[in-house]
Amino acid sequence: MSDDKFKTAISRIGAREDWRQAFIRQLVKYEETISSTGVDVREEITGPLVDALYDDNHIVRKTLSSGVVFEFLYRSKIARDFVMSVPENPDHVWEPQTSRILVNLAKSANQVVIGGAYFGDHAILIAREISATGGVVHAFEPNNEQRDMLASNARLNGLSNIISRPEGLWHNSNSNLKLSGYDSFATAESVDEGTDTFKTVTISDYLKSIQVDRLDLIVLDIEGAELSALQ
């Protein structure tokens, strides 16, 4: 098959949601039924086929077994593995053990800070857990598009206890950072003020600004800047 025919075929499948989902289900079944030696089937075969069904601006919707709904941009391995999850409606988006531990820890939390909230894969689950007791999630995400997805996911799930913030958590306030790299792989680097930069804030300064004197849970996934945030 020529490259053009392959691209046309994939494009036709990707243009219809029912065809796309049926195709993905068959690829997942394929993974379950073959044995491979020295080949990462997901990374080298099935994953790239699923990647070809989406572009970077494609918004995917998926529902967890709990009924929580997520919309997300297809831009990362997180998105791909969530799309190809087994079971089709899992109880988590990414990192199952981490997700379950965080939800369990949140049961006794009231004020939660999340650095690197992304599209809300953990923030939504935590906010849902603590909403009935008046708990609040302070979700920091400097990536504008992902922060917009976080806000959208909060609305989709009827959650009003997530405060989304554009700053980057850091060891001082009012520095300028810029994301270097793409989407979930981006790391923060210190730069002069300019386009595509964002301000920093310390956890302490932020809590003082909103008059919160007790913090119950800190969740950080900020690509190597965790120590700076804790300092």
Q: Where are the alpha helices (DSSP H) in the chain?
A: 3-14, 17-33, 41, 47-51, 77-83, 96-106, 123-130, 144-156, 203-209, 226-230
Which residue in the block uniquely carries the two structure tokens 């003020």? 193
User: Nearest CA to 216 among 119, 117, 132, 102?
Assistant: 102
**Max Cα–Cα distance, the chain, nearest Å:** 64
Q: Which residues contact 41 (CB under 8 A, 6 or more apart)?
A: 30, 31, 34
Q: What per-residue confidence (pLDDT) applies to 1?
A: 59
Q: What amino acid is encoded at 13 in this protein?
A: I
Check: CB of residue 167 under 8 Å from CB of residue 200: yes
Average pLDDT, the chain: 94
The answer to whether the Cα torsion of 7, 11, 14, 16 is positive or negative is negative
| Tens-place pLDDT, residues 89-141 | 999 999 999 999 999 999 999 999 999 999 999 999 999 999 999 999 999 99
Cβ-count burial 51-85 (b if 16+ within 10 Å, e if not): eebbeeeeebebebeeebebebbbbbebbbbbbbb
| Tens-place pLDDT, residues 148-192 | 999 999 999 999 999 999 999 999 998 999 888 777 777 878 888
User: Could you tell me what percent of the chain has a pLDDT over 90?
Assistant: 84
Report the pLDDT averaged over residues 61-89. 96
CA separation for the pair 53, 58 (Å, rounded): 9
